[in-house]
Amino acid sequence: MITVKVARKVQEAEDICTFELVDVTGCPLPAFSAGSHIDVHIPNGLTRQYSLCNDPGESHRYLIGVLRDPMSRGGSQGMHDSVHEGDTLHISAPRNHFTLAHGAKRHLLLAGGIGITPILCMAERLAATGSDFDLHYCTRSKARTAFLDRIQGSGFTHRAAFYFDDGEGARKADIPGLLSKVDPDTHLYVCGPSGFLEFVIATAKSNGWNSANIHFEYFAPAAKPQQAGAFQVKLASSGRIIPISAEKTVVEALAECGVEIPISCEQGVCGTCLTRVLEGDIEHNDSYLTPEEQAKNDQFTPCCSRAKSSILVLDL
Ligand code: FES
């Protein structure tokens, strides 16, 4: 855990604020790479993940961008309404589940809305290393386009295309057209709302893109039907069997029995609760594991995932 101070809070675009975080003692912050995120412990008790969107070469600050989500369960509203300049916050060290494939010859970056935060960091990194890339950034309107000036004032503005749903300069991105050319040396990176992300991934795959060349990061859980049936989990170390009712998550049911699993997002996004499964069929409801990882049926996120079988044996 790192204690940081909010050095600056800026209204970056409509409903989007950036927070510049510095170490309270003035020490350098841990290094990070493009695509990294941190856990932010919000004063209201919630923990949320935010991508770092400053230059990875900087060690004196972390910059995060936060969209006020009207469907917020308290995270983004807590950041917008309760966190001010001069406040202290507790954060985790950066982690990266959305890394650049530095060996690739070309990179195609697609951002939807606030999904620009890790994508911008990647674009700046690729520009700094002289890599070949293009950035396509889709938002609802120019007023809701964070970092517009930063991108237009950058040395890679000729590589960036903006798409607005409404208002001045409105035009739609031709995603199928962008993904029509399949090149094994090109890697695709996409971040944004679930619908945008799922459309981009599905289009790329249907056009024949290799899954290994498709990199993505969810900001919110993918819309998936929740299995609400009851089942049991067995703890392999003790043989203890714990019933999971339809109303409880595995994490909640285990906590009531004194078995604590570390959690953070509680939405299947961050992977903090990842737990090995030794037996049983998993119903994956997360956005963290890749389809290939889910198909292995050997780990799950008990904050939201459940069982297809009557029992799951957990490596606990
Ligand atoms: S707590 Fe984030 S995936 Fe379970």
Give the pLDDT confidence of 159-218 residue by residue, as tens digits: 999 999 998 889 999 999 999 999 999 999 999 988 899 899 999 999 999 999 999 987
- Cβ of 303 below 6 Å from ligand 1: yes
Give 300's strand partners.
275
Q: Is 250 in the pocket of ligand 1 (CB under 6 A)?
A: no
Task: Determine whether the shortest distance from the Cβ of 46 to ligand 1 is under 6 A.
Answer: no
- For 295, residues 6+ apart whose C-beta sits below 8 A from its C-beta are none
Measured from the CA of 269, which atom of ligand 1 is nearest?
3
Ligand 1 close to Cβ of residue 49 (< 6 A):
no
Amino acid identity of residue 152, one-letter, is: Q
**C-alpha angle with apex 85: 83 to 88, nearest 5 degrees?**
65
Apex 275 CA angle, 269 and 279, nearest 5: 125
> Quick check: CB of 221 below 6 Å from ligand 1?
no
227 has pLDDT over 70: no
Alpha-carbon distance of 273 to 217, in angstroms, equals 17
Is 222 a residue whose pLDDT tops 90?
A: no
**Which atom of ligand 1 is nearest to 264's Cα?**
1
Most informative mutation of 92, 226, 260, 269 for ligand 1 (most atoms within 8 A of CB): 269
pTM score? 0.81
Nearest CA residue ID for atom 3, ligand 1? 268
Atom number, ligand 1, closest to the C-alpha of residue 286: 3
Beta strands in the chain (DSSP E): 2-13, 16-23, 37-41, 47-51, 62-67, 88-91, 106-112, 132-139, 160-164, 186-192, 214-218, 231-235, 241-244, 275-279, 282-283, 299-300, 306-307, 311-314
pLDDT at 223: 54
pLDDT, position 266: 83
Average pLDDT over residues 97-114: 94
Q: Give CA separation, 211 vs 110, 112, 185, 206, 214, in Å.
A: 16, 20, 13, 11, 5
The per-residue pLDDT for 291 is 78
pLDDT of residue 228: 67
Ligand 1 centroid – CA 153 distance (Å): 37
- Let me know: does 157 contact 182? Beta carbons within 8 Å: no
Q: CA-CA distance, 71 to 49, in Å (whole number)?
A: 16
109 lines ligand 1 (CB under 6 A): no
315, 236 contact by CB (below 8 A): yes
Mean per-residue pLDDT for 258-282? 90
Q: Among 48, 270, 305, name the best residue to mutate to test ligand 1's pocket (greatest count of ligand atoms within 8 A of Cβ).
A: 270
The pLDDT value given to residue 220: 64
Helix (H, G, I), strand (E, B) or coil at 281: coil
Residue with tokens 């049991």: 232
Helix (H, G, I), strand (E, B) or coil at 300: strand
Q: What percent of the chain has pLDDT over 90?
A: 78
218 CB less than 6 Å from ligand 1?
no
pLDDT at residue 224 greater than cutoff 80: no
d(CA 229, CA 250): 12
